[in-house]
Amino acid sequence: VTISSIGAGAVGATLLVLLYPRLSPAEIAGTDIAYAVPLTAIAAFGHWWLGSIDWNLLGALLLGSVPGITIGSLAARAVPEKFLRGLLAITLTSVALKLIW
């Protein structure tokens, strides 16, 4: 994960769920994102330096991601924790199965 950063969110969130089961889904997501910010900033600088960033693709990704992040952050506090835990479990299981097959 640290070499490519592929799967960092899924792996990081899974580890946080396993190591800290008392954290709420909002705390898991927030901690995972806060941890990822400095790591991805350093990786982004390296890729910028190497010239390996597709700026058009980056713009398209940000255009869709920023509204989703905003809505998801607000919903994480408004939606019942039991529902979020179930949704997180389904999402992480789906990602794990996708990585295996």
CA dihedral 51, 56, 60, 61 (to 10 degrees): -10
Of the two residues 14 and 53, the one the predictor is more confident about is 53
Sorting pLDDT into bands at 50, 70 and 90, what band is 29? confident
The C-alpha atoms of residue 85 and residue 49 are separated, in whole angstroms, by 39
Give a three-class secondary structure readout of 36-51: HHHHHHHHHHHHHHHC
Q: How many H-runs (helices) and E-runs (strands) does the chain carry?
A: 4, 0
Interval 44-63: pLDDT, tens:
899 999 999 999 999 999 99
Mean pLDDT rounded to a whole number for the chain: 84
Whole-structure pTM value: 0.55
